[in-house]
Amino acid sequence: MTESVAIKEGRVTPENVEIGDFVQYGMVTDTAVLEVIGKTPKGIKLRDAKNNGIQHVNTDGIILSEVEADPDGSLVTLRERKNGGFRIARSYGIINFARTIDGVPVERMDMNF
């Protein structure tokens, strides 16, 4: 891949996330992406993003699929945990900012597993 792959630095919290940002959570070797649609001082409201059909494949069997906002996506509300972190019930992983390729958010799928 010759595209520019980037991940916004920092922890996802209501203070540093903006409505319209995309975040991801891990599922072993893969990721799923959600769109930030609302926030309060102690929570973040998210909606599942949808795959738009454009994929980037590298030689290691990693597929990065571009995603976009999905008005019909499932809704999830994150609440602050006692340790100050934000996690999603669907995953043991923490919430991070989504990877992007040239500014477009992408989900990761590892075809080696």
For the beta sheet containing 22-27, the strands, ordered from the edge strand earlier in sequence to the opposite edge, are 75-79, 43-48, 30-40, 22-27, 95-97
pTM of the predicted model as reported, rounded to 2 decimal places: 0.85
The answer on pLDDT for 90 being more than 80 is: no
Average pLDDT over residues 77-91: 75
- Find, among 28, 21, 26, the residue nearest to 49 by Cα: 21
Q: Give the pLDDT score at 38.
A: 96
Q: Which of 12-26, 31-45, 82-96 shows the lowest per-residue confidence on average (mean pLDDT)?
A: 82-96
pLDDT tier for residue 45 given thresholds of 50, 70 and 90:
very high
